[in-house]
Amino acid sequence: MELWQDLTKYELFDADALAKGDLSVSQQDWLQAFSKLDVNKDGKLDASDLGSADTQCANHHFNATQEHYRKAVAMMAEYFPEFADFFIEHEPALIFFAEMNKSAPEDAPVPSMESMELFQNNSKTLALTEWKAQASHIASCIYAMGMFVYEAVGWGLSMMDVYVLGKFPKDAPPIHLFDAIQGGVLEEYKTRAKRMGKAITQGHFWTAANVVWDILKDTFSLGILEKVIRAAFANMSWWDWASTGAMMLATMLAQMATSGAVLIAKMIHQIVNAYNLAMQGKEAVESCTQGGYNTGRIQWKTHPSQCMDVSGGSTNDGTNIISWDCDPPWKDVNDNRNFKVPAYGSGPIYWATHPTLCLDVPNGDTWNGNNIHLWTCYDGSPNQQFTPTRDGTGRIRWATHPHKCIDMGYSGGDVKGTNVQIWDCSGHDNQKFTVP
């Protein structure tokens, strides 16, 4: 199979048969191959024909040429020296499987057990070091930003038909691999997350696609993609792992040579559907602003059996907010009573179950008794800005008019179903809450 390598880049013959080692070529096949390579149709093959054919083939692979794939294999050898000799020995086969996106035969040779064990031991040491650097848990801001970048990188790579992040368990994404996003870099990513979410919301898809490209490019230069490739080894066969890594690196090299032009052009038409990516970016910005957000029940301190509740669990704009029986502490918070509250400073109070919806003061009217209801969240809306108490128990002020507070409109009788409203701040029992 490796003897055919110089011809495979032109995609002349059956790639599946070649991958299985079953390729045989008839005289008629050769004539068809000649016709395919004779781009200018002058009955002769020369350097011009081969160059044109090479360009046509590269266009099928996001402009990645054989040179990009050779550089990618060299990078794999540099990143993972445990397999360097094997990469070099089997470079033609690795390039073929990466470029054609084919699996190696079951009897394909693999590196020695010694090199496999050395690679796995080095990977375990690296993972342990990264987790220790993050302490026993990842800070909420770092974690949220890591999730955003993870989603952005995964989505951007999928646009290039590279699905390496899909090899990780959905319930345990490898956020620790993104630990380089800290310090000044974190602020840059925060800005990008905000730009991208705003661009998608406003229909500026070219801007949003460029943000994803910038994130991809930086994860490459920060060494994050190298870590992703290493970590994916545990979930893939050796040849699938090596060819996926080479394909990802070759495609990235090709895109970097043209400032991501081909990839951006494709993303522009798809990013309108990247809803999860936009939401992840919004959450990351919130988590990294003013101390982030806490999620849980908003409890009426005076009547601690009662919590704020989205009436009927309706997602309609204008749905009323009332008091309702809290769940026992040992149970998960009911979806209708689960809110995201600013941990410090001011911001929207989101319904955590449907985070596109927020607590809202209708029309921004300041009269006492104006209802608090649920409404679609709008960035910076003055009707949706609230300042919870810093110590977790006390008043929740309307940040736009801080002399106004959220108030339980209770005047006696059954507390269950009490309406939530705006009223002059007074420190009254109806204005005391315990927030998450």
pLDDT tens readout for residues 369-425: 999 999 998 877 899 999 887 666 788 999 889 899 999 987 777 888 888 999 999
Indicate the CATH number of 291-434 among 3.50.50.60, 2.80.10.50, 1.20.1070.10, 1.10.3720.10: 2.80.10.50
H helices then E strands: how many in the chain? Answer: 15, 14
The length of the chain is 436
Tens digits of residue pLDDT in 164-182: 888 887 767 777 777 677 6
> What is the average pLDDT across 278-304?
79
Beta strand 321-325 with 306-310: parallel, antiparallel or unpaired? antiparallel
Domain extents in the chain: 127-286, 291-434
Return the closest-CA partner of residue 95 out of 78, 113, 114, 74. Answer: 74
Quick check: 309 and 337 in contact, CB under 8 A?
A: yes
pLDDT tens digits, one per residue of 174-210: 777 776 776 667 778 888 888 888 888 788 899 999 9
Q: What is the pLDDT of residues 410-427, one digit of tens each?
A: 777 788 888 899 999 987
Report the C-alpha gap between 224 and 185 in whole angstroms: 13
* Cα(181)–Cα(289) distance, integer angstroms: 16
